[in-house]
Structure 1
Amino acid sequence: MKLILLLLLLPQVLLAQTGTLAGTVRDAQQRPVPFASVALPAAGLGVTADARGTFRVPDVPAGPVQVVASAVGYVRATRNETLVAGQTLNVSFALAAAAAELREVVVTGVSRATEIRRSPVPIAILTRREISLNANTNVIDAAVRGIPGLSAVTTGPNVSKPFIRGLGYNRVLTMYNGLRQEGQQWGDEHGVEVDGYDIERVEVVKGPASLLYGSDAVAGVVNLLPALPSGPEGRLRGETLAEYQSNNGLVGNSLGLNYQRNGLQTSFRASHRLARDYRNSADGAVYNTGFRELTLTGMAGVSKNWGSSHWYLTLYDNQQEIPDGSRDSLSRRFTRQVSESGFDDIKNRPLVTDKELDSYVIGALHQRIRHYRVFTKTQVHLGGGELHLLLGAQQNRREEFNHPTAPAQPGLALDLTTYTYDLRYHLPDWQGLQISLGSNGMGQLNRHQQATDFPIPNYDLLDAGGFLLLKKPLGKLELSGGLRYDTRLVNWTDFYVASNPATGFDGQAAAGTAGATLQFPAFRRRYRGVSASLGASYVATERLTLRANLARGYRAPNIPEIGSNGLDPGAHIVYLGNRTFEPEFSWQQDVGVLWHQPTFDASVEVFHNYVQAFIYQARLLDDAGQPVVIVPGNTTYQFQQAAARLYGFEASLNLRPAALSWLAWNSSVALVNGGNADATLRENQGADGRYLPLIPPLRGRSEVRVTLPAGPGRLTGTYFRATVDGSARQNRFYALDNTETATAGYALLGLGAGTTLTTRAGRPVAQLFVQVDNVFDTAYQAHLNRLKYFEYYAASSGGRAGIFNPGRNMSVKVVVPF
């Protein structure tokens, strides 16, 4: 440890003779390639070129260097040069166009930098350029549009939970720049606490990633990666962004700044978004779906030849309205709650006025989520290998204001504090064998504040695990595998609830308080699990790659699954847990075929996943088979456990004809089937319980994009695009107790265009993106839209039940770099 601290605090003791690498990245027509990546793999250095394609890498060790330049849509180029100490070496690249780049380097899910096609684990990426092309209300929705096999459970336009191949919540690990995101993932009514404007790249692991990350990655990983500073040294660079969306009047603004000099790097971003209720042709304006969001992100660090160290600090503050779907039975106009639940007559609530539906003011019934995050990432070249250390702390403060007679009194108020570590060491290669070992884990404390509803207990959690990963290239064949052991300790003490005469509501009480009830009896249990993975990739030809992977995933039950006993007011559900649950274990097999050439790109991924002790929700019934109602106006669910089986595929086809270099056609399709694998349970539940809940239907997406050749004017990169997003009818759903219903299929047309305005010297001045989604204003309900089930009447006028997804939306986005 003394040696590590010395390397972190006194890097100058390791400084060798160095020089500077500089140059430009252009395309075949000698036009700048903005924001291309330039890397020196052997030295562990890299930068992002600026908007003019220029780059500069200081403090490069003198001697032979290999320089790699890459960018989405281009074939990667490599140069071998010799750098003289104290001098600047200028290197220029000319990148050839490619249909789609399968050589992108990723680290999520594979421990070391690995090409996507050489990874036996299915990994997909989405770049900032692709994110910018679409109108998104959050970064998860952006990723869903661009990555087959990824879907999201939604509760309004700004609340999206990622699902991978039919599994979500605590089965998907969401990370921000490698730090696991901890913010009450079990809840439906809030999204991921990350600034979407700040994300440079999204990496998604499709399949068990428990080997590297432990519990909660049994379905995969979504890693949201911000950008590091780019551009010339000693000069402040940045961008401003402004966005407007017509459907909900979203107004978004963001300012990003970055600076670097002599290896010192710093960046800052502030973003603000404001939206009113969204609209569709079936419901009109959907009451209480607006939001107001503020995010601040700062980074400071150093990058030298000994390694790098960066510190991050983020603040997220979101006020999100809570829809409940109550309406007038005849007119179907939305109504609002004005009385407490015991005195609330749902059928006689007052109508929501047009002024309220068109207002940016956050309603009295809303939630506020504040997320604070500080962490450091350090990489040190040590003993011929590389040491990676991540240390982080974050706090998630979640309040739900659901009392109309006391709007300042939160019904739910939780403080979740998490401390995280991740330590990895990549040993020097030994006869071609790459060995990585490490440990990661977290400590967590969850505490109720001055609330009235208590769906889960106060708890303490301690989690730790260690892993060993091996990778061995054997010519065209590459083998990889590993083993991991995890342990998690969960405990809480007796938790009492009693009526508070001062407020008239229930509140947390001490043992022995008059009238107090024991809502959460004390609990203590340790969960253990072993994860493993074995995979291979085979480059049969320069164009054809085959890969396969077998993985065992592990997930400890989350707190609601074992301990819940109360109302989650935002979800309008009373949850009941099961203290006897065992961990989930899954066995997943993946087989993939990838074909890559400059004008044609295709892939097929097939998977099968068997989950032991799968945990799911089921509506609680009484002895007469009728739904149990504990809190009026809210449904009651209890967690169950049984074996489950999921299987399906993803396929993509991308074309860029050589004779039509201005044309690109990209398409993808994804299918997942999820069923109950417990024979006894199938027999007892019948056909209604045959399928798993929250399984997305067959989904496809196709895009045609036309990019105009560069002309003599000041516009460059001008494109026009048309997209079709389609979902088939979902007839395979969890029908027991009417938990889910069939969902009709739909197809949505989108049209878009964009361009970049440049100076006469070719420097970008502004980027413009225009997009129209759901052009025909189709009324539809996505199967994973929770608002589909927000309906108070058994039969509704017009035959439409629940709330529909957003209708036609036109967005305009302007980005001005400086």
Structure 2
Amino acid sequence: MKNSLCLLAVFIVSMAASSQNSLTGTIISKNTNQSVSATIYLPQLEKGTVADFDGKYNIQNIPDGSYNVVFSSLGFATVSKKLYFSNNASVTQNIQLQESAVEMEAVIISTPFHQLQSDNVMKVERVSTEELNASGAVTLAEGINNIAGVNVISTGTGIGKPVIRGLSSNRVVTYAQGVRLENQQFGDEHGLGINEAGIESVEVIKGPASLLYGSDALGGVLYLNPEKFALSNETNVDLSSTYFTNTLGTATNLGIKTSGEKLKFLARGSYSSFSDYQSGATYRVTNSRFNEKDFKAGVQYSGVKFKSTLRYNYNRSNIGIPEEIGEQTRSKELELPFQEIDNHILSFDNTLFFNKSSLDVKVGYIFNDRREFEEEANLAALRLKLNTLNYDVKYHLPQIGNFETIVGLQGMFQNNKNEGEEILIPDAKTTDIGLLATSHYHLEKVDLQAGIRFDSRKIESEAARNSLDENFIPAFNKTFTSFTAALGAKLDLIDNFSARVNLASGFRAPNLAEITSNGVHEGTNRYERGNANLTNEHNFQTDVALEYRNEHIEFFANGFYNAVNDYIFLSPTNETIDDTPVYDYLQNNAALYGGELGFHLHPHPLDWLHLESSFETVTGKLSNDAFLPLIPANSVRNTFRVEFEDGKARKKSSAFITLENTFDQKNVSNFETRTAGYSLLSAGIESSFKLQKVLLKIGVNGTNLTDKQYVSHLSRFKPDGIFNIGRSINVNLKLEI
């Protein structure tokens, strides 16, 4: 023990004595030669600063190694430079930023090489939660519905599940704090279980991402980036509150973060509460009320040889389960039936920096406690406890010429336990392990990326119920394996015009519900029978993206074809059990195809003017030409937006008006009905004011301003003819110090 402590002490002293590099320079405008107070950020180190009024900047304590350095400022094109540091080097990097009407770019975190989107081989959608909140979204799940190619299966306003190009549930993986979020996502009424407070931005990979994330990333990835720590030697405090007129709801959160040169800390707490939402038909949907408590905290140590980040998130959601339109009330007290869900997320992220390489070691623990109360408020009829430990180890090899390579090992240990009277899925253990390698090759006009991966998933479940009962669930033990691969290229064809071509395969092992179900699934009015003979789903997607950008306009066109072998789906039978129709889990080949089109007009010198438009379409079919269920309808979104930055007191103002047209959904599965189209109008205005050291932000926005009576095709209330939410005027106030 003494020897171990001595070795540890020597190790710490040697690290403290290691070389400390620095980066300095000056940033000016290429057009005017005037200084620019830009942000300089090293995403791999989570370290950065802001240039002073003279454009000068200085960053200390940079470890040896090669890092992307991002220089950005509103109104200028973002610049990314690859810089190498070693042996107490003082690197000087002077930058000239080009004025541009193109929006300021951010570094994409969900892909392995941490590049700007314009340099990324894979097309990734990224949007800040600030933008989502400004659009009037009540929850994070509702906000991502504004991203082209992304939709939400909703159960009122309290529950939302992401849909990426027609695929959802266990076909979409969600990451939070850099770790895989597991919360019984197989269920229709099981939402994200995470609050938008403390989430800085959302990234969406649309298409197979099994190479990076393993099983279940067959349809795509929703990657939630936590808020950054404060810049070195700064302390920030903020308080915000929003009032929603439709649900009489409030959402309030308070955050504080402080940083020294090496040690950083942040904490944020939030609470929200909503009554039953009012539809466009003026009635309130009984027991659609919900409330949520959320706490996030993080601490980071950044040295010259390693960086460690520890984050924790606790979330409790209490969500009413509507059954019929009943008593009209504005109460926020939950009625039976309702869900009470606890989510604990603990992540420990470590990076060791070597001279020309680095090692990332990430460990996550997630505990999901899901309780459903049906007849008694103190006795859960259904209780599922899910413990998940996952790990992710990646080694960034030394760069050879223009080649960057990463090899990795990922895995998961998961235990599911029933403690209620009802059983949806049996007690079970799941063990994952995956090996991957991916390389990026960079040339001036061409970027290539390729990778391969092997995965193994073992599922062991126990028998449930009496073996003589009709709803007996036998024990299950099986291992599913798969190879996946990806190949992509980004080509700069001519000035301002680029193309991306990505070919990727993915896989998904069947989940416990699909394998073992044998009983009535509450809330769906179905008796579901699992299939122990199900095999892996495998898919292969071709994705082509074209993009044109200059200082006046951005245009994009994305198209995809996704062939899914052995697609798992529910199929109605002619049987009934206990007067409930029986559905079996079956497999058949399927195909999904479609894409997104869009443009953004931002004419120079009218920098304050924005005209944005996007169109999305997806079609899903089985090999027998039957349509897949829960495929979103085609839609067009048009936004007129203005932004102004002026004045000493008023720092920034913006306003928008959006018209979203959703078309008729006529392509429906065997147990769906057609859904009529509708148009929704929303608008908002926002201003920020600088009062000495306090920044005050005031915003007002409205959704469904015409109080339209409509039903979304992806609403779980559709079979009951219950309308979606009507008009809501939302007021937000935020203070930053």
Partner of 2:356: 384
Query: Does residue 732 in structure 1 map to residue 658 in structure 2?
Result: no
**One-letter identity of the residue aligned with 1:780:** Y
Partner of 1:316: 315
Partner of 1:218: 218
Instruction: Report the CA distance shift for 1:162/1:652 in structure 2 as closer, same or farther (over 3 A).
Output: same
The CA distance in 2 between the partners of 1:67 and 1:434, in whole Å, is 16
Query: Does residue 710 in structure 1 map to residue 646 in structure 2?
Result: yes
Partner of 1:288: 287
The CA distance in 2 between the partners of 1:457 and 1:205, in whole Å, is 32
| CA deviation vs aligned residue, 1:334-379 (integer Å, no higher than 9, x gap) | 23xxxxxxxxxxxxxxxx2x3xx21011113210000111111111
Partner of 1:546: 499
Instruction: Report the CA distance shift for 1:49/1:727 in structure 2 as closer, same or farther (over 3 A).
Output: farther
Per-residue deviation at 1:381?
A: 1.4
Partner of 1:205: 205
Query: Does residue 582 in structure 1 map to residue 518 in structure 2?
Result: no
Per-residue deviation at 1:249?
A: 1.1
Partner of 2:731: 812
1:212-291 paired onto structure 2 within 5 Å: 212-231=212-231, 233=233, 235-282=234-281, 284-291=283-290
Query: Does residue 124 in structure 1 map to residue 56 in structure 2?
Result: no
Instruction: Report the CA distance shift for 1:564/1:358 in structure 2 as closer, same or farther (over 3 A).
Output: same
The CA distance in 2 between the partners of 1:26 and 1:248, in whole Å, is 48
1:630-641 paired onto structure 2 within 5 Å: 630=578, 636-641=582-587
Per-residue deviation at 1:570?
A: 4.4
The CA distance in 2 between the partners of 1:774 and 1:467, in whole Å, is 46
| CA deviation vs aligned residue, 1:626-664 (integer Å, no higher than 9, x gap) | xx243x5x6543222111010001111001111322211
1:629-668 paired onto structure 2 within 5 Å: 629-630=577-578, 636-668=582-614
The count of corresponding residues between Structure 1 and Structure 2 is 731
Identity of aligned residues (%): 27
**SS of residue paired to 2:185:** coil
The CA distance in 2 between the partners of 1:270 and 1:142, in whole Å, is 20
The CA distance in 2 between the partners of 1:106 and 1:462, in whole Å, is 29
Partner of 1:742: 674
8 A contact 2:684–2:699 mirrored in 1:
yes
Query: Does residue 615 in structure 1 map to residue 568 in structure 2?
Result: yes
Instruction: Report the CA distance shift for 1:817/1:55 in structure 2 as closer, same or farther (over 3 A).
Output: farther
Partner of 2:477: 524
1:57-96 paired onto structure 2 within 5 Å: 57-60=59-62, 67-70=69-72, 74-77=76-79, 96=99
Instruction: Report the CA distance shift for 1:368/1:45 in structure 2 as closer, same or farther (over 3 A).
Output: closer
Partner of 1:686: none
Instruction: Report the CA distance shift for 1:47/1:817 in structure 2 as closer, same or farther (over 3 A).
Output: same
Partner of 1:563: 516
Per-residue deviation at 1:194?
A: 1.4
Out of 732, 750, 756, which is 2:688 matched to? 756
Partner of 1:500: none
Q: What 5-or-longer segments of structure 2 have no aligned partner?
A: none
The CA distance in 2 between the partners of 1:495 and 1:107, in whole Å, is 42
| CA deviation vs aligned residue, 1:528-587 (integer Å, no higher than 9, x gap) | 111111111111134011110111111100110111112333444432211100100001
The CA distance in 1 between the partners of 2:550 and 2:484, in whole Å, is 36
**One-letter identity of the residue aligned with 1:292:** N
Query: Does residue 468 in structure 1 map to residue 437 in structure 2?
Result: yes
The CA distance in 2 between the partners of 1:238 and 1:522, in whole Å, is 53
| CA deviation vs aligned residue, 1:504-528 (integer Å, no higher than 9, x gap) | xxxxxxx8xxx87772111111111
8 A contact 2:63–2:305 mirrored in 1:
no
Per-residue deviation at 1:452?
A: 2.0
8 A contact 1:14–1:306 mirrored in 2:
no
Partner of 1:105: 107
The CA distance in 1 between the partners of 2:412 and 2:88, in whole Å, is 44
**One-letter identity of the residue aligned with 1:728:** F
Query: Does residue 700 in structure 1 map to residue 636 in structure 2?
Result: yes
TM-score (norm 2): 0.92
The CA distance in 2 between the partners of 1:370 and 1:51, in whole Å, is 44
8 A contact 1:563–1:579 mirrored in 2:
yes
| CA deviation vs aligned residue, 1:420-475 (integer Å, no higher than 9, x gap) | 001111111113222111011201100001x2211111111101111111221233
The CA distance in 2 between the partners of 1:273 and 1:546, in whole Å, is 43
Partner of 2:367: 395
The CA distance in 2 between the partners of 1:66 and 1:491, in whole Å, is 44
8 A contact 1:22–1:57 mirrored in 2:
no
**One-letter identity of the residue aligned with 2:408:** G
The CA distance in 1 between the partners of 2:334 and 2:244, in whole Å, is 18
Out of 625, 631, 656, which is 1:721 matched to? 656
**One-letter identity of the residue aligned with 1:363:** E
8 A contact 1:242–1:252 mirrored in 2:
yes
The CA distance in 2 between the partners of 1:7 and 1:166, in whole Å, is 55
**One-letter identity of the residue aligned with 2:650:** L
8 A contact 1:756–1:764 mirrored in 2:
no
Instruction: Report the CA distance shift for 1:64/1:464 in structure 2 as closer, same or farther (over 3 A).
Output: closer
**SS of residue paired to 1:816:** strand
Query: Does residue 484 in structure 1 map to residue 453 in structure 2?
Result: yes
Instruction: Give the root-mean-square deviation of aligned CA atoms.
Output: 3.3
Instruction: Report the CA distance shift for 1:397/1:705 in structure 2 as closer, same or farther (over 3 A).
Output: same
Instruction: Report the CA distance shift for 1:805/1:18 in structure 2 as closer, same or farther (over 3 A).
Output: same
Out of 697, 700, 705, which is 1:770 matched to? 700
| CA deviation vs aligned residue, 1:774-793 (integer Å, no higher than 9, x gap) | 1110011111111111x2xx
Out of 435, 455, 462, which is 1:493 matched to? 462
Per-residue deviation at 1:94?
A: 6.5
1:346-357 paired onto structure 2 within 5 Å: 352=327, 354=328, 357=329
Partner of 1:140: 141
Instruction: Report the CA distance shift for 1:518/1:133 in structure 2 as closer, same or farther (over 3 A).
Output: closer
**One-letter identity of the residue aligned with 1:726:** N
8 A contact 2:681–2:703 mirrored in 1:
yes
Per-residue deviation at 1:620?
A: 3.3
The CA distance in 1 between the partners of 2:641 and 2:597, in whole Å, is 19
| CA deviation vs aligned residue, 1:31-74 (integer Å, no higher than 9, x gap) | 9999x752247x84533759999987442369999853225764
Which 10-residue stretch deviates more, 657-666 or 528-537? 657-666
Instruction: Report the CA distance shift for 1:114/1:242 in structure 2 as closer, same or farther (over 3 A).
Output: same
Per-residue deviation at 1:265?
A: 0.9
**SS of residue paired to 2:680:** strand
Partner of 2:384: 414
1:665-684 paired onto structure 2 within 5 Å: 665-677=611-623, 679=624, 682=625
Partner of 1:342: none
Query: Does residue 426 in structure 1 map to residue 396 in structure 2?
Result: yes
**One-letter identity of the residue aligned with 2:566:** A
Query: Does residue 361 in structure 1 map to residue 333 in structure 2?
Result: yes
Per-residue deviation at 1:10?
A: 6.0
**One-letter identity of the residue aligned with 2:689:** L
**One-letter identity of the residue aligned with 2:717:** L
Per-residue deviation at 1:670?
A: 0.7
8 A contact 1:292–1:319 mirrored in 2:
yes
**One-letter identity of the residue aligned with 2:494:** T
8 A contact 2:64–2:355 mirrored in 1:
no
The CA distance in 1 between the partners of 2:134 and 2:365, in whole Å, is 33
Query: Does residue 38 in structure 1 map to residue 40 in structure 2?
Result: yes
The CA distance in 1 between the partners of 2:369 and 2:154, in whole Å, is 21
| CA deviation vs aligned residue, 1:376-419 (integer Å, no higher than 9, x gap) | 1111213521211110111100011112xx33221210000000
The CA distance in 1 between the partners of 2:292 and 2:582, in whole Å, is 31
